[in-house]
């Protein structure tokens, strides 16, 4: 369900709008009839700094802010930058909401993270369990910083009547993802390692952990649609998951990718490296109930599209990330 007339004459700031998810959100905004989209670039507006946030609001005069910008990476990046990931994400979210409140912003849409959930939350993750334990240690600082937007959103709605919503997407993947092996997440890292092993004629490649953890993945176009459906239709304090409700082990995911790439060799597991959270799978019923969102792509379809995109763009990706 979409509401094209909803976006007419609205000025919308999309932080992180030049990034992976943001580029799809901006495309879908345009398709829905939004003609006034402002995408702040970090070189012009360092959103960790209050002065830059205030200047952004003064310059853009938005009706709505969709906050997608984040300092983020995989397990290795989180382990190397826990302080930076905590501080930068906390300050971006806190200041964007506060200045939005001060300026009478009509709506703030915040994107949290699956990393905010407790390490041993019951499966599937229900939004009501989000505070019932500490997150998985390797990405807890990042997850907690993003989760503070939920606390702030609820407090500001209660005290000021500020209309903000917080969405919690599962792991995203798709075309235009980050394929830099130093900072990428699991699917792009697997695709790149698998493709390069095949091209080099190798009979094996190595992945982190033992393959036993499970994950759920949401195709990026579906995530963008879910965010905009919520922006149009949802105006409440409850956190809302965005996902598919389907989980797969990392071991089986690697097999799916290898099969799609056509790699016939062996996948080795480096068990000296961390596994991360044991299981991740969302209860996605609230999103369907509150704003009618349901993912369209299953994992096999999404992987096929992502791998095709990587093949078409692999030369430019390697030039950037080597």
Q: Which residues are catalytic?
A: 142
Residue pair 109/240 in contact by the 8 Å Cβ criterion: no
User: What is the sign, positive or negative, of the torsion defined by CA atoms of 83, 215, 70, 207?
Assistant: positive
**Which 8-state DSSP code applies to residue 16?**
T
* 263-to-179, 202, 266 alpha-carbon distances in Å: 18, 9, 9
Q: Identify the DSSP state of 2.
A: -
The Cα–Cα gap between 66 and 218 comes to 19
Cβ atoms of residues 76 and 85 within 8 Å: no
C-alpha angle 70-99-23 in degrees, rounded to nearest 5: 35
Task: Count the neighbouring beta carbons within 10 Å of the beta carbon of residue 142.
Answer: 27
């Amino acid at each position: 369900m979409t509401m094209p007339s909803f976006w007419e004459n609205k000025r919308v700031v999309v932080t992180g709008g030049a990034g992976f998810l943001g580029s799809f959100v901006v495309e879908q905004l345009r398709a829905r009839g939004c003609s006034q989209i402002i995408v702040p670039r970090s070189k012009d507006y360092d959103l960790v700094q209050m002065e830059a946030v205030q200047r952004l609001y003064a310059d853009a005069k938005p009706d709505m802010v969709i906050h997608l910008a984040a300092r983020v990476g995989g397990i290795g990046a989180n382990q190397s930058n826990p302080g930076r990931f905590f501080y930068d994400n906390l300050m971006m979210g806190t200041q964007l909401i506060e200045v939005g409140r001060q300026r009478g912003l009509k709506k703030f849409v915040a994107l949290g993270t699956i990393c905010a959930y407790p390490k041993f939350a019951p499966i599937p993750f229900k939004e009501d369990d989000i505070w019932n334990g500490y997150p998985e240690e390797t990405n807890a600082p990042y997850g907690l910083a993003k989760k503070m937007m939920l606390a702030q959103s609820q407090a500001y709605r209660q005290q000021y009547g500020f209309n903000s919503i917080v969405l919690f997407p599962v792991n995203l993947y798709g075309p235009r993802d980050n394929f830099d092996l130093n900072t990428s997440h699991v699917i792009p890292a697997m695709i790149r390692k698998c493709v390069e092993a095949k091209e080099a004629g190798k009979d094996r490649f190595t992945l982190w952990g033992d393959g036993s953890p499970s994950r759920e993945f949401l195709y990026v176009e579906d995530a963008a649609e879910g965010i905009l459906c919520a922006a149009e239709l949802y105006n409440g304090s409850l956190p809302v998951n965005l996902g598919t409700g389907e989980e797969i082990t990392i071991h089986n995911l690697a097999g799916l990718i290898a099969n799609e790439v056509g790699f016939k060799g062996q996948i080795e597991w480096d068990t000296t490296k961390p596994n991360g959270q044991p299981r991740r799978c969302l209860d996605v019923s609230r999103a369907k109930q509150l704003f009618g969102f349901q993912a369209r792509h299953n994992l096999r379809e999404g992987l096929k599209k992502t791998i095709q995109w990587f093949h078409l763009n692999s030369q430019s990706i390697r030039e950037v990330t080597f």
